[in-house]
Amino acid sequence: MTALVRHELRAAESGPALKALTEWTPADVPGGGVHPGDIGWHLRFAEATVLLWTDGDKPVAVGFSDGEVLRVTVAPGADLGAGLTEGAVDGFPVPGRVPHPTEAWLAMSWSPRPVTTRARPVGDADVEDRVLVQRSAFKNSTFTADKWHTMKRSPAGDTALDFLVRTPSGEPAAAATGWFAGPGRCGLLEPVGTHEDHRGQGYGRDAVLGACAALIERGASAVAVVPRSENAAAVAAYRSAGFTVVAENRDWVRPPAA
């Protein structure tokens, strides 16, 4: 192996990283790391960057910064130890990193099945309501209509299947975004949320089922969702929609300096 090269890609340049991740996405639920949909959701930020490590012309790892955590996926079968130079190792989960003490996530899987759902695809006329649900569901959210359009214009935009559920009177109640990683590969839900005024009425479940069904119809082999382990309400909601837990993963961080 030659020395790895670390590339910082702007949103418009992220196609090669997305292509590599798509090729590495398995048919079943990934055991951790980054899904193309994680990158797609990250690209709602106009200033977003994606990290790509290459060995010559060959992509061998892809990642992005999510707050203080760096999320990375390595190509299946890649042995990067010999190629990690000081320049390439910056921000990479090399030996010596330790599990984050609080950041634990469940990998949950949904297999194809017939569904009935009130969810409908998000069109241009629905974007403001889609944003309203997101900001109500996640109090620290900075999501805006501009960010939705930025995401949809990104190299990952065509793989985003965005769904909205309304109440009988037309109020926006819940939303879910599914990410397609190619035929025969596992799709991803990211994010999913229910408006605070409409919780406990099955709207979130309908949003989840709408996105899952759309991913399967497009050709996904299965659907994954990755809630925080301590989020009991979310885990219970996904179980009610037919998801099962297949693994628990932890983010990796550098140990504090001695």
3-state helix/strand/coil string of 209-247: HHHHHHHHHHCCCEEEECCECCCHHHHHHHHHCCCEEEE
**Residue 212 is part of a domain; what is its CATH number?**
3.40.630.30
Instruction: Give pLDDT tens digits for 34-92.
Output: 999 999 999 999 999 999 999 989 999 999 988 777 888 999 988 765 544 444 445 45
Give the span between the Cα atoms of 60 and 62, in whole angstroms: 7
In a domain, 245, yes or no: yes
Residue at a domain's end among 100, 135, 154: 100
Q: Supply φ then ψ for residue 172, to 5 degrees.
A: -70, 125
Shared-domain flag, residues 119 and 168: yes
Give the span between the Cα atoms of 86 and 212, in whole angstroms: 42
CA distances from 15 to 12, 36, 155 (A): 7, 10, 6
Residue at a domain's end among 100, 123, 140: 100
Q: In the 8-state DSSP scheme, what is residue 72?
A: E
Identify the domain containing residue 10 by its residue range.
Answer: 5-100
What would the mean pLDDT of 221-250 be, rounded to a whole number?
A: 92
Question: pTM score > 0.85 for this model?
Answer: yes
What would the mean pLDDT of 129-151 be, rounded to a whole number?
A: 97
Residues near 208 by Cβ (< 8 Å), separated by ≥ 6? 176, 189, 192, 225, 237, 238, 241
Task: Give the chain's domain count.
Answer: 2
* Among candidate residues 186, 152, 142, the one with its CA nearest the CA of residue 28: 186
Give me the amino acid identity at 135: R
Residues near 257 by Cβ (< 8 Å), separated by ≥ 6? none
In a domain, 195, yes or no: yes
Vertex 131 angle, CA 25 and 117, to 5°: 65
CA distances from 71 to 24, 36, 122, 234 (A): 15, 12, 28, 22
12-33: string of b/e by CB count within 10 Å (b at 16+)? eebebbbebbbebbeeebbebb
Vertex 247 angle, CA 246 and 251, to 5°: 150
Residue at a domain's end among 67, 100, 133: 100
Instruction: Give pLDDT tens digits for 160-184.
Output: 999 999 999 999 999 999 999 999 9
Shared-domain flag, residues 58 and 165: no
In a domain, 257, yes or no: no
Mean pLDDT rounded to a whole number for the chain:
89
In a domain, 258, yes or no: no
